[in-house]
Structures are given as structure tokens and as C-alpha cells.
Amino acid sequence: MNPPSVPLRMLIDFDGTLVEPNVAIILVEEFARDGHRLAHQVDEELHSGKITLREAWTRQVAMLPADRIPEMAAWSVEHTPLREGALELLALLNSHQVPTYIVSGGLDFYIHPILRASGIELPVLSDSMERGPDGGLHVLHPYGHATCRLCGICKAQAVRTISPPALRTAFAGDGSTDKYAAEVADIVFARRRLKGYCETSGIPFYPFEAFAPVTERLRRWLDGQEPFPAARHVGLSSSPCPISSELARTPPRGRGAAAADSAT
């Protein structure tokens, strides 16, 4: 069969998806005073809805020692394994010339060294940080939404900006920073908290733990062995994400949305 004619873009979350751990949390645990308790306290408040993603990340970064950034970066490289099958997935995408991006709510100071250590060269959209006048670390949001303050990086905006309306976007993620991307992506691969969110929100998805099933499904589509999933109307009208709710109200004409025949 001929390869599919539908253009594809692939966006992959970093912490807990491309790599096994949530690097931000383990950095706070390792380098902040009373870090284990504080990191999980912030995480619990985030997932109970008491604070936003942006507020959680601001608090976590403020706990990190500003004078130990090189040490923290080196420690991250040593303690952050890739998820099983990551290199095989990226090799497949590269062989089919599928534009692939890392879209992360984490920080570039540890993402880039980890990628370099694994021989991975991909564009990265993430938060960054700077040392403020008070001597502490402050988060910068170069890919944040112009007005919405729910998230640091606006992954929904990244999904729709990177992939114009006529193209397909596949997104792989695992957590709360990924839910709005999942709402607006055409094809969703989900694990952990994102899997549960997709189930309760009615978002079609393909579950995964290791990357092997993601790679195999993409291979069948890209090699033309199976057709791409049928179109779906992306976005959720009830979403607090302005991009998602707006897309839900927009007629799907001309959008390359896709639904997954997942095991949900």
C-alpha cells in the first residue's frame, strides 16, 4: 500500500512521558530543604484544584537553590532515564520525516542536557527561569498564553500553532499539564493521569506505558498499512482553556481532527 497522504506532526511531553520521572519533582526532593514533603504538598494541591499549574510551578522553582543550577542539571542527566522504546519511536518519526517537538511544562535548563546526553536533537518548547533581584529563581513562560494564566506553557496553543488546521497532530503525554493539549490534539496517546482525564472527559485516546505500542500504531499508519483515524471535532465546550472551548464552538470544516479507536 502507498504511504498515507495525510501530513502528521508529533508533539511529546517530556517529564513522565519521554523520560520516566517527573524531573521537576525529583529535583525539588533532592535539592530543596524539606523537598520531599513540599514537592508532594504542591502536587496534591495542584491535583485537588486548589492551585493552578502556573502557581504550582512557580512555588516549586522557588524552592530550588539558585547557586546550584549546573549541579542540578548534571544530576538530572544522571538520574533521568528515557522511557522504554523512546529512541525507537523517535527513529521511526525521523525515518518518515515527521516533524517532532518536545512540548514541556518543565524547564529548559535540564531538558536540553538530558536530550543531548541521549543523542536527541529536537526543538523544545518549555518554560525557563532566571535569577531575580531577590536572589531566588523565577519561572519564565515564553510559550504562555497571552491572557490565560492556568498553565505556564500553553500546550493547547502549541498544538494548534505547530499544526495548521489542515494537518494532523499527534500528542503523547501523561499528566495535568497535558490535558488541554489532549483536548485539542487530533490523535492522543495517554498514560497515567492523562489517561484518566481522557476517560472522564470523553477524549478518544490510545493508552501506553512503554512506547512500543505507540511506535507500532504510528508505523502502521505511516507505512500505509492502516488508514489514519476518522475525524473528530476537537475541543471541549466546558473546558476552562480558552483555545479548547473556542475550538469546540467552531465548525470542524477544514480541520484535520482525528478520533482514536482506543480501548476506552
Per-residue pLDDT of 161-196, as tens digits, reads: 876 666 789 999 998 789 999 999 999 999 999 999
Q: How far apart are CA 50 and CA 54, in angstroms?
A: 12
* Rama region for 34: left / alpha / beta (φ>0; ψ in -120 to 50; rest): left
Mean pLDDT of 122-139: 92
Stated pTM of the model = 0.91
Locus of grid cell 533532592: 30
Give the mean pLDDT of 117-136: 94
d(CA 256, CA 248) in angstroms, rounded, equals 14
